[in-house]
Homo-oligomer: A and B are copies of this chain.
Amino acid sequence: MLSKSQIKLITGLHQKKYRKEHKLFFAEGIKVVQELLNSGFTLHHLYTEPGYFNNIPHAKYTEVTEAELKKVSALTTVQHCLALFEIPEEPIAAATGLIVALDDVRDPGNLGTIIRLCDWFGIETLVCSEQCVDVYNPKVVQATMGSISRVNVVYTDLVKYLADTALPVFGTFMDGDTIYKETLPAEGVIVLGNEANGISEAVEKLCTRRIAIPRFGNLQQTESLNVATAAAIILSEFRRG
């Protein structure tokens, strides 16, 4: 049974300001919630239809109906459970290894997909400009499929971060050198730009290497690639050696 104050709390967490205020976010669906439970996030409270979870402390466990879940869900189709987790302290941005940096990526699905890609390709740190969509946005959390627990996402002044790094900074531009012919190092920062506008001018100035994904179509009319698919191709190319 969901109380009025619980409904108010959870629906509030759809918004970033209340997530910040309460230091809580939520995830939905057995698979994602189970991954987050297994991965070191601290459970605040689990709301679930009966029979899906064992071993949750009584004080953090409430059985609810599908109709109740619908009242608080961010999904079109509710998925048996919704769990609130504590937002951990923000990690420190790494200064070594291969790092991905996002310059104003706004779409929750894109951020979620990029986090999954970082996880797949063993990239531990994702640096986000302060204008990027919030990683604890419910749509981002769902799109990560649990990878959110294995990638450190750091929000910072991206221009300052790039100005300070000793690593080479790779930016993707139409006139860049083809990634298929470049020798790509094991350490560096890979910058990906905004969905509509690409990499901003201030960030572009700090890119030390300009790269490009070659296009193979005959007509050469193709739109630029979606930022998440571009990320997939670039990360694959960096890691394949």
Contacts and interface: CB of A to CB of B under 8 A. Distances in A.
A180 B217 contact: no
B120 A215 contact: yes
A233 B229 CA distance: 8
Interface stretch (A16-24, A54-62, A144-152): A144-152
Nearest to A114: B229
Nearest to A144: B223
Interface residues of A, number: 37
A241 interface: yes
Of A219, A225, A233, A241, most buried by chain B (CB within 10 Å of CB) is A233
A147 B116 contact: no
Given A232-B233, A236-B237, A226 B113 contact: yes
Contacts of A122: 215-218
Interface in A125-162: 145-147, 150
